[in-house]
Structure 1
Amino acid sequence: MSDQLIITLGREFGSGGHAIAVELANRYGIKLYDHNLLDAVAAEKNVDVETLRRYDEKPKKLLFSRSQNGFSSSAEENVAFLQFEYLKKKADEGESFIVVGRCAETVLGDRPNVISLFVLGDREVKCKRVMEVYDLSERDAQFKMERHDKYRKQYHNYYCKDKWGDSRAYDLCINSSRLGFDETVNELEDYINRRRKMFK
């Protein structure tokens, strides 16, 4: 069994996907790449991280950008490709990690030790969680959920052949609302452990 473990985790907003990724990273003792991925990219490329953050996981503005000779005028696209290349580099170096979003199930999909997950949830449960976490009214929570998922979907579907949230694009999709946080993590850990035994 190979020692390298790469977990990619896509998620609906409010599903608790990020918190689940944090717990899985802790259980396996591996690095978590989410927003901090920009810190690593900025340090490596010697650029301002706050500039990168403005364009993180944002869909490309097709009307105001163009590509020529392999170069893009789109800041969103350039930031995306910087992150994709960084993840590929870390995977090629043999690092184990879990990455949240960033089209990682596609970007790293050709690696043999990748397990791709997608966390979704019931709308009512997600809304309640967003209301509590962000101290929002139900209406504002629903708006925030819809906006974030819209951007994630547009971002993902621009760079990936498989559609965001389509079960065929992932090894396992799980509804965190049904089991709750702890049992969802336990189920994912069990699946990951069984899959790891198949790694060469």
Structure 2
Amino acid sequence: MAKKIITISREFGSGGRTIGRQTAERLGISFYDKELIEKVAKESGLSEQFVAEQGEDSPTKNRFAYSFLGRESNGMSVNDYLWSVQRKIILELAEKESCVIVGRCADYILRDREDCLHAFICADVKKKAERIVKLYGETEKKPEKRLAEKDKKRRLNYEYYTERKWGMAQNYHISLDSGVIGLEKCVDILADLAGME
């Protein structure tokens, strides 16, 4: 069965976003990353900046911080509301069209669909550090610290909303080390596995 939707979970600096975009281009299907942020912001009434910063990252570096987030009378925090809107939009996109979705727990949200291919993209710290310095203009003396902080926030958010371990092989159909394989080969593999070519 051809996989209609590809979800890309990724470590910061691994090139997952680029791999996702290029895979979508290769297959001639829609790509959702910043486009998803725009849709969520429009539907939720939250700013694009807030959605971008809080939509897949923990608000702090500690899982217990979720317990102290302000809650409305319905028991939901702003982060919970953001999660519910993102979930709704991801489910709608999956029903509507073939696409590649980057991050935002899409692998978990779409876990029960048989027409999905869930990928996790990783790389060693040295390769990721080189990438964020080169592409994102990271100027910290220790880009490794930025990598660790960003991935920790992604992991905490993922684990809070999914109760699963972020990056655990059992949660994905395939895990690719872009530092060893290369971005182009990762695209080749995903496009081939999707069976849409």
Match of 1:62 among 61, 66, 74: 66
Gaps of 5+ in 2: 60-64
User: What CA distance in whole angstroms lies between the structure 2 residues aligned with 1:76 and 1:35?
Assistant: 18
C-alpha distance 138-30 of structure 1, shift in aligned 2 (>3 A) = same
SS in 2 for 1:182: helix
Q: Deviations over 1:61-82 (max 9, x none)?
A: 324236688640x212211211
- Give TM-score scaled by structure 2 length: 0.86
Q: Is the 8 A contact 1:55 1:75 kept in 2?
A: no
- Summarize the Cα distance change of 1:186–1:53 in structure 2 as closer, same or farther, 3 Å threshold: closer
Q: In the TM superposition, what is the alpha-carbon distance from 1:161 to its structure 2 partner?
A: 2.9
In the alignment, residue 21 of structure 2 is paired with which amino acid?
A: V
Residues 146-184 of structure 1, C-alpha deviation per residue, up to 9 Å, x if partnerless? 111011000100111321000010000010111212122
Report what 1:5 is aligned to.
4
Task: Name 2:119's counterpart in structure 1.
Answer: 117
Q: Which residue does the alignment assign to 1:96?
A: 98
Q: Conserved in 1, the CA contact under 8 Å of 2:119 and 2:174?
A: yes
The count of residues paired between Structure 1 and Structure 2 equals: 192
SS in 2 for 1:15: coil
1:86 aligned partner: 89
Compute the RMSD of aligned alpha carbons. Answer: 2.4
Partner of 1:40, secondary structure, is: helix
TM (norm. structure 1) is: 0.85
Question: In the superposition, relative to structure 1, how do residues 138 and 46 fare at CA in structure 2: closer, same or farther (>3 Å)?
Answer: closer
| 52 and 174 in structure 1: CA distance in 2 versus 1, 3 angstrom threshold | closer
* Contact 1:58/1:76 (8 A) holds in 2: no
Q: Which runs of 5+ in 1 are unaligned?
A: none
Residue 189 of structure 1 aligns with which residue? 191
Aligned to 1:22: 21
Number of the residue aligned with 1:76: 79
Q: Within 2, Cα distance between the matches of 1:137 and 1:54?
A: 20
CA contact (8 A) 2:40 2:51 kept: no
| SS of aligned partner of 2:189 | helix
Distance 1:43 1:149, change over 3 A: same
Bigger drift between 136-145 and 111-120 goes to 136-145
Identity in percent: 30
